[in-house]
Chains A and B, each alone.
Chain A
Amino acid sequence: MNPLDRYETLVDDVDAFRAACDRPLPSVVRTNGIKASPDRVREAFDEAGVAYDPVDWHDGLFRLPDGNPGGNWPHLHGWTHGQEEVSVLPTLALDPQPGERVWDACAAPGSKTTQIADAMDDTGTVVANDNNLGRLSALRHNAERLGVTNAIVTNQDARNFSTKPLAFDEFDRALVDAPCSCEGTCRKNPDVLDEWTLDHVHGVAGIQKGILTRAIQATRPGGTVVYSTCTFAPEENEAVLDHALATEACAVVPFDLPVETASGVTEWEGEEYDPSVSRAHRVYPHHNDTGGFFCAKLRVGGPESVIDHAGGTEVAR
């Protein structure tokens, strides 16, 4: 079966959803603020005759209609990084600040780690962890190319992550960009639809719950955890949040993203989830002509804990 069939009951416009999933994705690059400004990247593209289109919701993103994001001077200088548009969203939700301690639990190949480092002005400490040593080498290559100096790279199972090698034992923020069944990437890798199985969904959901649990435990009270995937499966999204709400002191909080999204679902195939999971965002390919994505923001310590924000809806920039 095509796994996209099972999500037709969730989307507002089935035909537009299926049509978008069939279209290839444009190449997109993100400006690396550690080394260059969007203006300088634009000027270098102009000089070299590289065609580019702006992305209206983020001035550091450029769509490259001719592809080849790595074949130009800005890339060689580490001013740009090829990164799918939706993949920029979890770091916006995380909103890391200069000087903080941040954990990227499933970091390879480093697109989000390097974006986090950029948002922190390359200060503080971002701990980039992945359990796959081969993929870590890609992360290290990307971090060096982009000039990131505030990252520590670790190779652990995130579910049992130990802070022993670190100078501190809790984080201000953590990102769990979890391994998943990846239907949301079908526009760049259609094979994910052929390889999809329900057994894998259930297996990986257990891993996701373990990683999110550890991230909540490793983050200080009042701190922020962002959970994201590139799957539409509620078993891997809202059900994972529901599990965390039932077992750890945390709350799913409302936040804004600068793209069109749908709310998290509160029931799926006979299961009901905590109503607050509707505060999560679902990004469908036909809404913004992107890949598919899921993103939720949690506050550690639950609704009654003191938080370090002014309160109300937290706005991602």
Chain B
Amino acid sequence: MSDPGGDGDRDGDTPEPANDGQRFDRLPATPADREVAGRASREEVLDWWEDRFGIGRDVLDGYSFWEKGAGKVWVFNGEADDPSRVEAIGMTFLRTRQEHWKPTTRAVQRFGEHATRNVVELDAERASRFAAGEDQDLPDWDGDWGYLIVAHRIADASAPIGVGLYLYDELRSVVPKGSRADLSVVDR
């Protein structure tokens, strides 16, 4: 996912554009359009959701993607031209500029129902522990390591709760502290 070589040499004395962490900038369409080193492109973002979770382009094609801060990508469904100095545009979506990209809890809650792989569905007791921020052993998982969508059954269907990090037979809860909840276990 990383592009350590950047975009090659630039002409003359023009300084290479750098990422300004205080403003929103639209992601370039493709890696070939990239002007700011290290910035993810729209194509790579769409590919990543498809490769990692099977969430197809039909789901995300209508949205635009923006970077603010070091690698924080936002997803937006409205009209924007130069929103560089606004406080927020849409919602936080994905953390890039690191070896393993990490979806946000809110992105997974919003779009995770379209996922077809790397979704682990927990039983009621495990789901409550996950929502409370607890890490738990999960030796039976035979899918990929890394960031997973963690879901449970509620009201007759599966619903994504948040993001888990699976490493060495353990599922770590990366639900943000402010979003954790001590919820009762629902028997059914």
Report B128-180 residues with CB < 8 Å from chain A CB: 131, 154-157, 159, 161, 178-179
Known contacts A122-B77, A167-B79, A155 near B90 by CB under 8 Å: no
Interface residues as binary, B7-26 with A (CB distance below 8 Å gives 1, 0 otherwise): 00000000000000000000
The interface size bin for chain B is 35 or more
Interface residues as binary, A118-154 with B (CB distance below 8 Å gives 1, 0 otherwise): 0000111110000001001000110111011111111
Determine if B39 is an interface residue (Cβ-Cβ < 8 Å): no
Cβ-closest chain B residue relative to A79? B159
A143: chain B residues at CB < 8 Å are 88, 91
A155 near B87: Cβ-Cβ < 8 Å? yes
Known contacts A44-B155, A149-B76, A149-B90, A165 near B106 by CB under 8 Å: no
B78 near A126: Cβ-Cβ < 8 Å? yes
Shortest Cβ distance from A109 into chain B, in angstroms? 14
B79 near A101: Cβ-Cβ < 8 Å? yes
Determine if B1 is an interface residue (Cβ-Cβ < 8 Å): no
Report A147-180 residues with CB < 8 Å from chain B CB: 147-155, 165-168
- Count residues of chain A with CB under 8 A from any CB of chain B: 43
B104: chain A residues at CB < 8 Å are 144
Report B108-136 residues with CB < 8 Å from chain A CB: 109-110, 131
- Kindly state the separation between the CA atoms of A126 and B80 in the bound complex, as whole angstroms: 11
Determine if A77 is an interface residue (Cβ-Cβ < 8 Å): yes
Cβ-closest chain A residue relative to B79? A167
A122: chain B residues at CB < 8 Å are 77
Cβ-closest chain A residue relative to B83? A165
Q: Which residues of A contact B (CB under 8 A)?
A: 34-35, 40-41, 43-44, 47-49, 70-73, 75-78, 101, 122-126, 133, 136, 140-141, 143-145, 147-155, 165-168
A73 near B86: Cβ-Cβ < 8 Å? no
B186 near A73: Cβ-Cβ < 8 Å? yes
B106 near A150: Cβ-Cβ < 8 Å? no
Known contacts A71-B183, A151-B88, A44 near B79 by CB under 8 Å: no
- Kindly state the separation between the CA atoms of A271 and B39 in the bound complex, as whole angstroms: 61
Given A76-B161, A78-B109, A152-B78, list of 4 further CB < 8 A pairs? A44-B155, A49-B184, A136-B87, A150-B77
